[in-house]
């Protein structure tokens, strides 16, 4: 059995403004998705017949990594609530790409080209069969898995499932873990990882060292309201159209996010919290909060360093940065929210078992 897992994510700073090129910051959370693969006589997902239209992310990965391979039984478990802005589909896709790559191995050419992914081709995933030549080597099991490839594949399948639009925020955070900053330019003082491009948009992806952020937790409060991201993004776009002065809010979110990043680097969590609350006021002024979010935010504020909505808004989740997660969580629950508690910056993708790999050896 092959098993891999990946964390969910939440956005600390910069949602919506990132659509206009401002920096955004996300952290990986303790809640994860696990994917388990076993050979089977037919395609199954959680014991049921696999229906591609019900699992577009898995189907897109199957086409890229398992074309012509034997049928699998796929088991998906995890504690990230779906459709809540916490990256459940990206975490699932990262874990599934790791498990599939682990299950088929990877061929390496002696001139530094690798099947499926190479740094020389950052925007492409090669998915055709390779001819094994003299000098080629093949890696099997966990060794064949590459975190960048999982991030690239996940970005590609998220774009496929979302009709061509997806930023690499979720895919990079769920693959690499820790804390990820996206911007339209390379940000000084951060660890630049790579550029990502989709259609005409490009992003610079960085990681941030969170080693100085001990003793604080995130309490995530869900309103239980499902508000599609596309609607909230369209709402902000039409607001900016009718009221161009609101671009000041977008630019100020960028300034606040940069202040939040330098506070994170210093481990100054009081300032991180203040910046989060300020970010929320700006989001509210863009019209993406709602009474239910405001009520959870007011309930959490007295015991928190900072509070804000996270993700697209209009429903979905809020987050509270706190040193007293139990009390903050109780306050949110009393106000009608469902809570999850997490540290900041969980570990990224892991291969938890590669027993029996490869399950399919296309190189033979």
Binding footprint of ligand MEV on the chain (CB under 6 A): 11, 15-16, 18-19, 85, 167, 229, 232-233, 311-312
Nearer to ligand MEV, 107 or 232 (CB): 232
C-beta of 16 vs 206, nearer to ligand MEV: 16
Of the pair 85, 362, the CB lying nearest ligand MEV is at 85
Q: 139 or 170: whose CB is closer to ligand MEV? A: 170
What is the nearest approach in angstroms of ligand MEV to the Cβ of residue 324? 27
Q: Tell the smallest beta-carbon distance from residue 10 to ligand MEV (Å).
A: 9
SS3 per-residue string spanning the chain = CEEEEEEEEEEEECCCHHHHCCCEEEEEEEEEEEEEEEECCCCEECCEECCHHHCHHHHHHHHHHCCCCCCEEEEEEECCCCCCCCCHHHHHHHHHHHHHHHHHCEEECCCCCECCCCCCCCCCCCCCCCCCCCCCEEECHHHHCCHHHHHHHHHHHHHHHCCCCCCCHHHHHHHHECEEEEECCCCCCCEEEEEEEECCEEEEEEEECCCCCCCCEEEEEECCCCCCHHHHHHHHHHHHHHCHHHHHHHHHHHHHHHHHHHHHHHCCHHHHHHHHHHHHHHHHHCCCCCHHHHHHHHHHHHHCCEEEEECCCCCCEEEEEECCHHHHHHHHHHCCCEEEEECCCCECCEEEEECCCCCCCCCC
CB closer to ligand MEV, 316 vs 337: 316
Q: How far is the CB of 112 from ligand MEV (least distance, A)?
A: 34
Nearer to ligand MEV, 16 or 363 (CB): 16
Q: How far is the CB of 223 from ligand MEV (least distance, A)?
A: 15
Cis peptide before 112 (omega within 30 of 0): no
Return the number of the residue (19 or 76) whose C-beta is nearest ligand MEV. Answer: 19
Task: In angstroms, give the least distance from the CB of 166 to ligand MEV.
Answer: 7
Report the nearest approach of ligand MEV to the CB of residue 134 (Å). Answer: 46
Cβ at position 24, least distance to ligand MEV in Å = 7
């Amino acid at each position: 059995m092959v098993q891999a897992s990946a964390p969910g994510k939440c956005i600390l700073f910069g949602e919506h403004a990132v659509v206009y090129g401002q920096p955004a910051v996300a952290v990986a959370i303790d809640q994860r998705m696990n994917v388990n693969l076993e050979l089977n006589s037919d395609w199954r997902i959680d014991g049921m017949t696999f229906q591609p239209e019900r699992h577009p992310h898995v189907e897109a990965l199957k086409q890229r990594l398992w074309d012509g391979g034997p049928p699998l039984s796929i088991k998906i478990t995890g504690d990230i609530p779906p459709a809540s802005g916490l990256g459940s589909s990206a975490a699932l896709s990262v874990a599934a790409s790791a498990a599939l790559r682990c299950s088929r191995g990877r061929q390496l050419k002696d001139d530094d080209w690798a099947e499926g992914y190479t740094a020389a081709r950052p925007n492409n995933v090669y998915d055709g069969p390779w001819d094994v030549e003299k000098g080629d080597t093949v890696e099997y099991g966990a060794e064949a898995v590459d975190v960048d490839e999982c991030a690239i594949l996940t970005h590609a399948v998220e774009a496929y499932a979302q009709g061509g639009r997806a930023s690499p925020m979720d895919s990079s955070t769920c693959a690499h873990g820790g804390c990820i900053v996206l911007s339209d330019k390379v940000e000084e003082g951060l660890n630049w990882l790579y550029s990502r491009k989709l259609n005409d948009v490009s992003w610079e992806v960085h990681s941030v060292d969170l080693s100085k952020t001990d003793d604080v937790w995130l309490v995530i409060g869900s309103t239980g309201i499902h508000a599609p991201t596309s609607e909230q993004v369209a709402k902000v776009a039409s607001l900016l159209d009718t009221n161009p002065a609101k671009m000041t809010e977008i630019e100020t979110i960028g300034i606040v996010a940069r202040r939040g990043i330098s506070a994170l680097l210093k481990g100054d969590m009081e300032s991180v919290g203040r910046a989060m609350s300020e970010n929320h006021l700006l989001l509210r002024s863009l019209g993406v909060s709602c009474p239910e979010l405001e009520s959870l935010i007011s309930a959490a504020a007295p015991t928190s360093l900072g509070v804000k909505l996270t993700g697209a808004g209009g429903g979905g989740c809020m987050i509270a940065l706190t040193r007293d997660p139990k009390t903050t969580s109780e306050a949110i629950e009393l106000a009608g929210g469902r809570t999850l508690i997490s540290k900041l910056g969980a570990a990224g993708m892991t291969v938890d078992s590669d027993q029996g790999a490869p399950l399919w050896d296309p190189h033979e």
